[in-house]
Structure 1
């Protein structure tokens, strides 16, 4: 039953997460709430970090990792296959009919409507990552002290790396940012 449920959830994610791997994140956060035995939001934040730092599409990496955690090797195969299957089907259909519909006003209008939707999904996913990584809502709601709203060390790390990336204007390999964040994270944890 777990494998059928994994297939259903990841097929649904692959079908509706338009816009790339980051667009899968709202669906994964929903899964974390709905199926905590698979993974929780904290584990999801770790999955995001690992998926972002490994080669390959983030959505596929996330599906493989989440599927493995939920159902072992077979779970990772099922989740990954289910995630990519809708894209394969859609690409085959588009390839067959693209030349016929590329100038169609309805098709162009649909893509016009999809762009802000994809942006909103990615922004929502970004907020969820911030919520798990920087905010400490449990401590805040217990004390209602604004200082308790943030994990100060994580906020400092975020600010320093954000400022560095803005000052460097994206120069430097992303691996340098990941390595710097890992080193500072280790230092902060001690």
Structure 2
């Protein structure tokens, strides 16, 4: 039962503090799942994000569902999903009535503007960690090639990231792997 409580706390905290949606929740879930509770390694977490991004729907609930199931079975899945969406539901119900009244408030606008740099730093730290892990697992040449091709496809050619990820997954599955190393 303690495991279910920890699942709830981890995802409730992430859901409560994940200002701005799923992408801002990713570093918070990473902290809980990899650093605090050590349910996964960084590589496993990266795999969850990669696969989760290829599927439709919000990334936060996909991560919660998979990780909750992996850690605590079907009860863990339901627990993690509820914990992820509960903060939003509670805050939405409480704030919906006053939203219209305070939406133009300087305080609310200032708070929103103040949170954006914090989210940017959290995403940057997570990105830097993924770059280091990519370099270590793939080697600098292959990691750079994948980065450049992905950047061109997503930014220059405006191809949806899900298609880029799915294509790279298919290519990775087609490549022969020797001894667990593809470099």
Range class of TM-score, shorter chain: 0.7 to 0.9
- The Cα RMSD (Å) is 2.1
Query: Conserved in 2, the CA contact under 8 Å of 1:48 and 1:62?
Result: yes
Query: Conserved in 1, the CA contact under 8 Å of 2:24 and 2:119?
Result: yes
Aligned length: 175
- Select the residue among 161, 169, 177 that pairs with 2:150: 161
CA spacing shift, 1:189–1:130, aligned 2, 3 Å: farther
Residue number in structure 1 paired with 2:181: none
Tell me if 1:182 matches 2:169.
yes
Counterpart-to-counterpart distance in 2, 1:174 and 1:164: 8
Residue number in structure 2 paired with 1:141: none
Query: Conserved in 2, the CA contact under 8 Å of 1:153 and 1:188?
Result: no
Query: Conserved in 2, the CA contact under 8 Å of 1:157 and 1:184?
Result: no
Query: Conserved in 2, the CA contact under 8 Å of 1:22 and 1:125?
Result: no
- Unaligned runs of 5+ residues in structure 1 are 138-148
Counterpart-to-counterpart distance in 1, 2:153 and 2:107: 43
Residue number in structure 1 paired with 2:135: 135
Counterpart-to-counterpart distance in 1, 2:121 and 2:127: 10
Counterpart-to-counterpart distance in 1, 2:68 and 2:20: 21
Query: Conserved in 2, the CA contact under 8 Å of 1:39 and 1:70?
Result: no
> What does the per-residue CA deviation read over 1:56-108, in whole Å, with 9 as the maximum and x for residues that have no partner?
10011011111111101110111111011111111112211112212322222
2:116 is paired with a residue of what secondary structure? helix
Counterpart-to-counterpart distance in 2, 1:35 and 1:151: 30
Residue number in structure 2 paired with 1:33: 35
> What does the per-residue CA deviation read over 1:120-177, in whole Å, with 9 as the maximum and x for residues that have no partner?
2222232233233x1218xxxxxxxxxxx93532332222222333441x0x454432
Question: Where does structure 1 differ by over 6 angstroms across 4 or more consecutive aligned residues?
Answer: none
Counterpart-to-counterpart distance in 2, 1:35 and 1:154: 29
- Unaligned runs of 5+ residues in structure 2 are 178-183
CA spacing shift, 1:188–1:16, aligned 2, 3 Å: same
TM-score (norm 1): 0.82
